Each structure stands twice: as structure tokens, then as C-alpha cells.
Amino acid sequence: MHYYLDIRTLSFSSGIISLILCVCMLYISRSRKTYNGFTQWTIASILNCFGLVLLSLRNILPDFITLVIANTLIVAANGFIAYGIEAFSGSTRRMWLFILFAVSLFVSFSYFTYYSRNLNACIVIISAILAILYAYCGYIIHIYTPRLLNVQNMFLTVVFTIQAIWFALRIIPTVFIEGIIVDFMKASAVHGITIMVFFGGNIFVTIGLIALNFQRVEIELLTSMDEIKTLRGIIPICASCKKIRDDKGIWEQIETYIRAHSDAEFSHGICPECIKSLYPEYTDGKYTDDDKKAVI
């Protein structure tokens, strides 16, 4: 069982899959319509990739790189995901909070790595931070996304909730059941399962965020189609002044109505019939064609 939950292998495999997801995010950001927040999600996929690969190189590279830097990158990646969700949904942005989490982890991991060696404390700290970040992401998705898209995104809400619960529960065996962890790569199966939960959650979150972006594209497309249908339908227009009555019963100039329901712009001129009616002096042969063009 421990062979299948080998932390080094799981971490490296997760890093490779994160690289593939990163390439997908980069492709979408360059070739498809995206919204505020998608850039932050793409950055998060890059940070996750490097963090997991560095984590798998524990005992091969220095602890500062594989323990301090690797875990800081993972926390920063989830901070970017949360910040991107804030930007996407239009909620209050708290970049300072995510920077605080990353700096706090960097400082605490440095302390428990070089001054008071304690891997158990490191696991508790990163588990608590990730649990908070996942819970916050689930909260933003649950509260603010329906206001923007008029529909609840239960997929991302459930994924973030499961991850938040798991990382919170991970603290219990680390503190009360396990002994002192000397080498994380040889830790119990709980931590191997944690890598799998993080790995699977990373995949689901990436897919969910891509779907969330396209969901907004679909809503804008449907809105545009509704506007086109409005212009195709029966439009109440005044037989005398040619004003148009909108859905609220307000009469508007035809230029104002069409400009509000399409991308059309107007360039005004005068047709030959109106020239004869309004400016008969231009039709009696006394003026040249250039004079007529000046009026038009």
C-alpha cells in the first residue's frame, strides 16, 4: 500500500499533470476570450507545477528549495486562485491577505527547518493555510458567482469544500496520532493520500475554472442573441415622428434605440427628396454639385 502512496512519485506525477494543465491554461488565455481572473488562474497553474516538482526532489536538492520554496509556491498558487475568483466575480479583492499567507508560511517554514527542526509543525501550518484558502474560494464561488451568472456552480463549491475539510482533518493525525516525522518522504499513508487529494483537486479546480470562464462566454452570447431577436421582432414605431417605444414604454429616437441594441453607429446626411423639400434653392440649377455635397 505504501508503494502506491509513495510521496515522491505522487508529487512528481502531480507536477507533470500540473504542467499539462498549465499548457492548456496558457493556450486558452492566448486563443480564447477570457475575463478578469483567468490570468491569475494561469499563474497559479505555473506555480503549482514548479511547487510540486520541487517537492518531489526532497533529499536531492537543499531543504530550502524543496521544503521552504516548494510549499511557498503551492500556497502562493492557491492565493492566486482565490484572487482570480475575486476578480472574476467582482467581489472585494484581498491580495494583501494572500501575500500575508505566503510570507507567513515562508518565515515559519524557514524557522522550523533551520532553527527548530519540526516537520509536524510545517505540515500543520500548510494544512491550516490551505484549508482556509479552499474554504474561502468555495465561499466566493457560492455567494458571488450566482450574482454574475444567475446560476449556482455546485461543482467548484463541492471541490473546494472537500479539499478544505480534508486539509483541516489532516491536522488531527499529525498532531495527536503520528510521532515525530523525520523524513516527509517516508511519512505515513495519510500524507500520501493528501497528495492525491491535492492532485485530484488541482485537476478538478482547473477544469472547473475553465468551465466557469466559458459559462460566462455563453451567457454573453445568449444575451447578444436576445438583443438580435429584439431587433428582428415587431418594433413599435411612431407613424409621425418615427420614435421607437422600448420595453419600458419610453419613446426614443430611432438612432438611440438601434445604438443601444446593436453595435451600429450613425452618420447623418440628407437624401435627394429632402433636399428638394427643405432646400429648393439647391435644385434650381444655380448651385454646383460641390455646393450640394457641402450640404449633404
pLDDT score, position 257: 78
Give pLDDT tens digits for 191-211.
778 888 888 888 999 999 999
Looking at the domain assignment, is residue 16 inside a domain? yes
Looking at the domain assignment, is residue 127 inside a domain? yes
Looking at the domain assignment, is residue 20 inside a domain? yes
Residues 75 and 102: their CA atoms lie apart, in Å, by 6
Show the domain range for 104.
7-226
Looking at the domain assignment, is residue 135 inside a domain? yes
Looking at the domain assignment, is residue 1 inside a domain? no
Distances (CA, A) of 222 to 90, 194, 288: 21, 41, 51
Residue 170 burial (CB < 10 Å; 0-12/13-18/19+)?
buried
Residues 33, 25 contacting (CB under 8 angstroms): no
- State mean pLDDT over 125-141: 94
Total domains in the fold of the chain: 1
Looking at the domain assignment, is residue 273 inside a domain? no
Residues 5, 192 contacting (CB under 8 angstroms): yes
Looking at the domain assignment, is residue 128 inside a domain? yes
pTM (2 decimals)? 0.75
> 258 is written with which cell numbers?
438601434
Give pLDDT tens digits for 224-244.
776 666 566 677 888 788 888
